[in-house]
Amino acid sequence: MGGEESTPARTPSPPPPKKEFDQQWRKTCWSKEERDHMVDELRNFKLSDPDVGQLRCLLYGPVGVGKSSFINSVNNVFQNRITSSALVASTSGTSFTMTYDTHYIQGRSGEKRLPFAFNDVMGLETQKNGLHPDDIVNALKGHLPEGYEFNPFHPLSDQKKEFIQNPSLSDKTHCLVSIVSADKISIMSKDVIDKMKNIRAEASRLKIPQVVVMTMPDKACELVNKDVKRIYYSKAIKEKMELCSNELGLPMNCILPVKNYHEEGMLDNDMDILILNAMTLIMNFANDYLWQLQQHAI
């Protein structure tokens, strides 16, 4: 007695892996009240050494990762509007920053400077292009004068008259901030990574605290592009941060993802929260450094 051959049951394909964790892996409060609280705390931040006017944060990293945009983004938060204190290039092929300038952050109209400032430097490039690493070391030690023009081939020598021979504590860097782009961390050249590691090693020798600000998470993850609050649910962002940690040698809790203001025409509470979380950690680390210096001076 004949019959049709039975068709074997098809094994169902496994579901695609989830792109999100079930819970935030880094707890974050996204409320407007938390934003305003962090703004007030940073406005009224008390420095360990009252003779230091501002905590000086040195920003460095590859060309086009958003160093100047980060300065503007911080300025936006505290002026409560879109600003452009640091000039930003419209393309990312070459460094737009050519001089060593201090960017102070001022509050709303009539308020005094906030207790922190940024120095943005020329971008790192491959081989002998871009910023000379020795000028980063000069900046860490406080030897670079305001308005110093970077020369990729000739870093500032202590034989030059503009070299600050006896920098004050206010001239020196109090926190080194590496800026990297989330969407490009996996394709950064070995040469640039090695330069960043060497600069980090010198900062470590000087006992200067360090963090990484990871920009452009929206370009590295569609979830974050749609909703910034999904950033600590995103598996892709955590993987980028782990890669950054492995490449540059900093612990995960020193890697701070932010979305810079770039094309927005008005402020966004969730973007502000990430920026303020980063600034709070940077300020605390820099202030701890001042405190340690004071203890050794006693």
Q: What is the pLDDT of residue 265?
A: 87
Going by the DSSP 8-state scheme, the letter that residue 254 receives in this structure is G
- pLDDT tens sequence across 200-258: 999 999 999 999 999 999 999 999 999 999 999 999 999 999 999 999 999 999 999 99
Structure tokens at 214: 């990871």
When the pLDDT of each residue in the chain is averaged and rounded to a whole number, the result is 90
Going by the DSSP 8-state scheme, the letter that residue 170 receives in this structure is T
Q: What is the pLDDT of residue 90?
A: 47
Q: What is the pLDDT of residue 111?
A: 72
Cβ(196)–Cβ(124) below 8 Å: yes
CA 118 to each of CA 69, 159, 173: distance values in angstroms, whole numbers, following the listed order: 12, 26, 9
pTM over 0.85: yes
Structure tokens at 264: 């927005």
**Worst-scoring range by mean pLDDT, 3-17, 20-34, 75-89, 198-212?**
3-17
Cβ(219)–Cβ(239) below 8 Å: no
Sign of CA dihedral 251, 256, 257, 260: negative
Sign of CA dihedral 279, 282, 287, 288: positive
Q: What is the pLDDT of residue 125?
A: 81
- How many C-beta atoms surround the C-beta of residue 110 within 10 A? 6
